[in-house]
Amino acid sequence: MKTIGLIGGMSWESSAEYYRIINEEVKLRLGGLHSAKCLLYSVDFEEVERFQAKGEWDKAGELLGDVALALEKGGADFIVICTNTMHKVIAHIERKITIPVLHIADATADQIKKSTIRKVGLLGTKYTMEQDFYKSRIESSGIRVIVPNEDERVMVNKVIYDELCLGDIQEASRAYYKKVIQNMINEGAEGIILGCTEIGLLVKQEHSVIPLFDTTVIHAIEAVNKALEK
């Protein structure tokens, strides 16, 4: 079994989900008392969020690159960044290390391609929804990506940072997300990417009439695939 290097803490709420899903999947596949070989380096999200808000992505990339290097030195065979947004700085991270990074958007696109879906709605932070680093990665697989309107993007982002990252699950916010999803369905979305690793804490498949692609689950299971590959 390969050792998974997890860059977590962005937020720790979703990092805990990664740890749970990865270990449950290893136990399911291998049985007995098996659990995942992994290293988790959990950063202080307050520091990272300040870099995001100021647009200081280079500084954020340097920070996470140092974290990845520490994981490599600690014995990790590959890196999993437990967040969608910070894949924006993946180039900074890859320059610091010699082991591969398992990209969350690639894993998600591969999962979508297993269906007949070719147009998806994207929910995430404002950075993920509005900038090109994530959408273009999905669209390079022949999948069209649409996002909510500007007012909806503001509110979706606010719920992530003010509630979900703090473990605060509000029924009113769930209802709002369901409305946003329906609006994207009305625009032709055949599936929805939960493109922030906290959104799955709020919105489940039962809340949508079309398929949801929970990036936390997809990424964590792909990490297990890679850890157990021959």
Instruction: Give the catalytic positions in this structure.
Output: 83, 196
168 CB neighbour count, 10 Å cutoff: 13
